[in-house]
Amino acid sequence: MNDGSAISDCAHTTLAVLAGGEGRRMGGPKGVLALDGRPILERLLDRLDWPGPTLLVTAPGREHPPGWRRFINEVTDPIAGEGPLRGILTALENATTDEVIVLPVDMPNIMPAPLAWLAARLRENPAAAAVMVEQPELPNRVEPLPAVFRNPVAQTLVRAQLRDRQLALHRLTKNPQVVVVPMSSDWPSDFWMNLNTPSDLARYRRLASASI
Protein backbone atom coordinates (compact mmCIF):
# COMPACT_ATOMS: atom_id res chain seq x y z
CA MET A 1 0.00 0.00 0.00
CA ASN A 2 2.26 2.75 -1.28
CA ASP A 3 -0.45 5.36 -1.77
CA GLY A 4 0.29 7.65 1.16
CA SER A 5 -1.66 5.47 3.56
CA ALA A 6 1.24 4.77 5.93
CA ILE A 7 0.27 3.98 9.48
CA SER A 8 2.47 6.86 10.64
CA ASP A 9 -0.01 9.23 8.97
CA CYS A 10 -2.58 8.23 11.61
CA ALA A 11 -0.93 9.86 14.62
CA HIS A 12 -3.91 12.23 14.80
CA THR A 13 -6.56 9.61 14.04
CA THR A 14 -8.46 8.01 16.91
CA LEU A 15 -8.84 4.24 16.90
CA ALA A 16 -12.19 3.40 18.52
CA VAL A 17 -12.97 -0.24 19.35
CA LEU A 18 -16.58 -1.26 19.96
CA ALA A 19 -16.69 -3.87 22.71
CA GLY A 20 -20.09 -3.36 24.31
CA GLY A 21 -22.17 -6.01 22.59
CA GLU A 22 -24.03 -8.74 24.43
CA GLY A 23 -22.60 -11.42 22.16
CA ARG A 24 -25.85 -13.39 22.11
CA ARG A 25 -24.75 -15.74 19.35
CA MET A 26 -21.35 -16.18 21.00
CA GLY A 27 -22.95 -16.98 24.33
CA GLY A 28 -21.40 -14.02 26.14
CA PRO A 29 -19.74 -10.63 25.59
CA LYS A 30 -16.97 -10.80 23.00
CA GLY A 31 -14.97 -8.19 24.89
CA VAL A 32 -14.05 -10.78 27.53
CA LEU A 33 -12.79 -13.41 25.07
CA ALA A 34 -9.21 -14.61 25.13
CA LEU A 35 -7.25 -15.28 21.93
CA ASP A 36 -3.81 -16.81 21.73
CA GLY A 37 -3.64 -16.94 25.52
CA ARG A 38 -4.40 -13.28 26.24
CA PRO A 39 -7.37 -10.92 26.39
CA ILE A 40 -8.74 -10.15 22.95
CA LEU A 41 -8.35 -6.39 23.55
CA GLU A 42 -4.68 -6.70 24.46
CA ARG A 43 -4.05 -8.84 21.41
CA LEU A 44 -5.80 -6.30 19.21
CA LEU A 45 -3.76 -3.36 20.47
CA ASP A 46 -0.50 -5.29 20.19
CA ARG A 47 -1.39 -6.30 16.62
CA LEU A 48 -2.25 -2.77 15.51
CA ASP A 49 0.37 -0.78 17.47
CA TRP A 50 -1.72 2.30 16.76
CA PRO A 51 0.21 5.62 16.71
CA GLY A 52 -2.78 7.81 17.61
CA PRO A 53 -5.27 7.95 20.48
CA THR A 54 -7.11 4.74 21.38
CA LEU A 55 -10.68 4.67 22.66
CA LEU A 56 -12.59 1.69 24.04
CA VAL A 57 -16.38 1.86 23.79
CA THR A 58 -18.36 -0.35 26.18
CA ALA A 59 -22.00 -0.65 27.24
CA PRO A 60 -23.72 -0.24 30.61
CA GLY A 61 -22.99 -3.27 32.75
CA ARG A 62 -20.07 -4.38 30.55
CA GLU A 63 -17.47 -1.81 31.51
CA HIS A 64 -13.80 -2.60 32.10
CA PRO A 65 -13.34 -5.82 30.11
CA PRO A 66 -9.94 -7.51 30.37
CA GLY A 67 -7.32 -5.30 28.72
CA TRP A 68 -9.25 -2.04 29.09
CA ARG A 69 -6.38 -0.31 30.85
CA ARG A 70 -4.29 -0.54 27.66
CA PHE A 71 -6.52 2.08 26.02
CA ILE A 72 -5.99 5.80 26.52
CA ASN A 73 -9.65 6.11 27.45
CA GLU A 74 -12.74 3.97 27.97
CA VAL A 75 -16.21 5.44 27.44
CA THR A 76 -19.58 3.80 27.99
CA ASP A 77 -22.74 4.21 25.95
CA PRO A 78 -25.22 6.31 27.92
CA ILE A 79 -28.09 4.19 26.55
CA ALA A 80 -28.13 0.40 26.32
CA GLY A 81 -29.67 -1.62 23.52
CA GLU A 82 -28.97 0.64 20.53
CA GLY A 83 -26.26 -1.54 19.08
CA PRO A 84 -23.09 -0.51 17.26
CA LEU A 85 -24.69 2.67 15.88
CA ARG A 86 -24.89 4.03 19.42
CA GLY A 87 -21.32 2.90 19.98
CA ILE A 88 -20.18 4.88 16.95
CA LEU A 89 -21.90 8.01 18.24
CA THR A 90 -20.36 7.51 21.68
CA ALA A 91 -16.94 7.20 20.05
CA LEU A 92 -17.45 10.34 17.96
CA GLU A 93 -18.72 12.33 20.93
CA ASN A 94 -15.67 11.43 23.01
CA ALA A 95 -12.88 11.39 20.42
CA THR A 96 -10.31 14.17 20.58
CA THR A 97 -9.48 14.07 16.86
CA ASP A 98 -11.32 14.93 13.65
CA GLU A 99 -10.70 11.48 12.16
CA VAL A 100 -12.07 8.43 13.95
CA ILE A 101 -11.62 4.86 12.74
CA VAL A 102 -14.20 2.53 14.27
CA LEU A 103 -13.82 -1.24 14.33
CA PRO A 104 -15.46 -4.10 16.21
CA VAL A 105 -13.63 -6.16 18.79
CA ASP A 106 -14.38 -9.42 16.97
CA MET A 107 -12.15 -9.18 13.87
CA PRO A 108 -9.02 -11.13 14.87
CA ASN A 109 -7.19 -10.70 11.55
CA ILE A 110 -7.47 -6.92 11.36
CA MET A 111 -4.21 -5.18 10.40
CA PRO A 112 -3.04 -1.56 10.61
CA ALA A 113 -2.33 -0.98 6.90
CA PRO A 114 -5.95 -1.32 5.70
CA LEU A 115 -7.06 1.03 8.47
CA ALA A 116 -4.50 3.61 7.39
CA TRP A 117 -5.71 3.11 3.80
CA LEU A 118 -9.26 3.89 4.94
CA ALA A 119 -8.13 7.08 6.65
CA ALA A 120 -6.36 8.13 3.45
CA ARG A 121 -9.61 7.68 1.50
CA LEU A 122 -11.39 10.05 3.89
CA ARG A 123 -8.69 12.67 3.34
CA GLU A 124 -9.17 12.28 -0.42
CA ASN A 125 -12.87 13.10 0.04
CA PRO A 126 -12.95 16.33 2.04
CA ALA A 127 -16.75 16.62 1.78
CA ALA A 128 -17.33 13.11 3.13
CA ALA A 129 -18.63 12.48 6.62
CA ALA A 130 -17.51 8.85 6.50
CA VAL A 131 -15.95 6.21 4.28
CA MET A 132 -17.06 2.58 4.22
CA VAL A 133 -15.83 -0.36 2.17
CA GLU A 134 -17.44 -2.87 -0.16
CA GLN A 135 -15.95 -6.12 -1.36
CA PRO A 136 -15.57 -6.03 -5.18
CA GLU A 137 -16.43 -9.71 -5.61
CA LEU A 138 -19.70 -9.10 -3.74
CA PRO A 139 -21.50 -6.23 -5.54
CA ASN A 140 -23.44 -3.96 -3.22
CA ARG A 141 -21.98 -5.79 -0.22
CA VAL A 142 -21.01 -2.94 2.08
CA GLU A 143 -18.96 -3.91 5.10
CA PRO A 144 -20.03 -1.27 7.63
CA LEU A 145 -17.04 -1.81 9.91
CA PRO A 146 -14.26 -0.96 10.00
CA ALA A 147 -15.10 2.53 8.79
CA VAL A 148 -13.65 6.00 9.18
CA PHE A 149 -15.65 9.02 10.28
CA ARG A 150 -15.06 12.77 10.21
CA ASN A 151 -15.92 14.73 13.31
CA PRO A 152 -18.15 16.59 13.98
CA VAL A 153 -20.21 16.23 10.79
CA ALA A 154 -20.57 12.46 11.16
CA GLN A 155 -22.16 12.93 14.56
CA THR A 156 -25.09 14.71 12.93
CA LEU A 157 -25.73 11.81 10.54
CA VAL A 158 -25.49 9.12 13.18
CA ARG A 159 -27.58 11.05 15.70
CA ALA A 160 -30.34 11.55 13.11
CA GLN A 161 -30.41 7.86 12.26
CA LEU A 162 -30.65 6.93 15.93
CA ARG A 163 -33.47 9.41 16.40
CA ASP A 164 -35.35 7.73 13.55
CA ARG A 165 -34.65 4.29 15.13
CA GLN A 166 -32.82 3.14 12.01
CA LEU A 167 -30.19 1.12 13.85
CA ALA A 168 -28.69 -0.84 10.92
CA LEU A 169 -25.22 0.49 10.14
CA HIS A 170 -25.49 -0.08 6.39
CA ARG A 171 -28.31 2.48 6.24
CA LEU A 172 -25.68 5.16 6.73
CA THR A 173 -24.69 4.59 3.11
CA LYS A 174 -28.05 6.03 2.01
CA ASN A 175 -26.66 9.43 2.93
CA PRO A 176 -24.64 11.05 0.11
CA GLN A 177 -22.06 12.22 2.63
CA VAL A 178 -21.05 8.61 3.25
CA VAL A 179 -18.64 7.44 0.56
CA VAL A 180 -18.40 3.73 -0.28
CA VAL A 181 -15.14 2.58 -1.86
CA PRO A 182 -14.03 -0.86 -3.11
CA MET A 183 -11.50 -2.49 -0.85
CA SER A 184 -7.91 -2.50 -1.95
CA SER A 185 -6.91 -5.61 -3.89
CA ASP A 186 -4.00 -6.34 -1.55
CA TRP A 187 -6.08 -6.76 1.58
CA PRO A 188 -5.64 -10.33 2.88
CA SER A 189 -8.48 -12.77 2.17
CA ASP A 190 -9.04 -13.50 5.86
CA PHE A 191 -9.33 -9.82 6.83
CA TRP A 192 -13.13 -10.04 7.21
CA MET A 193 -13.21 -13.00 9.59
CA ASN A 194 -15.66 -12.26 12.41
CA LEU A 195 -16.03 -14.15 15.67
CA ASN A 196 -19.81 -14.24 15.89
CA THR A 197 -20.39 -17.75 17.23
CA PRO A 198 -18.53 -20.45 19.18
CA SER A 199 -18.03 -22.21 15.82
CA ASP A 200 -16.26 -19.12 14.46
CA LEU A 201 -14.03 -19.05 17.51
CA ALA A 202 -13.21 -22.74 17.19
CA ARG A 203 -12.39 -22.29 13.50
CA TYR A 204 -10.09 -19.36 14.27
CA ARG A 205 -8.27 -21.40 16.90
CA ARG A 206 -7.86 -24.36 14.53
CA LEU A 207 -6.39 -22.13 11.84
CA ALA A 208 -4.12 -20.37 14.33
CA SER A 209 -2.82 -23.71 15.62
CA ALA A 210 -2.20 -24.96 12.09
CA SER A 211 -0.10 -21.89 11.26
CA ILE A 212 2.28 -22.34 14.19
pLDDT at 136: 72
Question: Are 99 and 148 spatial neighbours (Cβ–Cβ below 8 Å)?
Answer: yes
pLDDT at 6: 86
> 14 falls in which pLDDT band (50, 70, 90)?
very high
What is the average pLDDT across 22-49? 94
Q: What are phi and psi of 174, to 5 degrees?
A: -70, -20
Residues 6+ apart with CB under 8 A from 169: 84, 85, 88, 144, 145
pLDDT at 139: 62
pLDDT at 212: 59
Q: Give the domains, in start order, of the chain with CATH numbers.
A: 7-211 (3.90.550.10)
Give DSSP secondary structure letters for 76-112. Answer: E-SSSSSHHHHHHHHHHHH-SSSEEEEEETT-TT--H
| Residue 169: other Cβ atoms inside 10 A | 21
Mind listing the pLDDT tens digit for each residue in 137-151? 766 689 999 999 999
> 189 falls in which pLDDT band (50, 70, 90)?
confident
Burial bucket for residue 153 (CB in 10 Å: 0-12, 13-18, 19+): middle
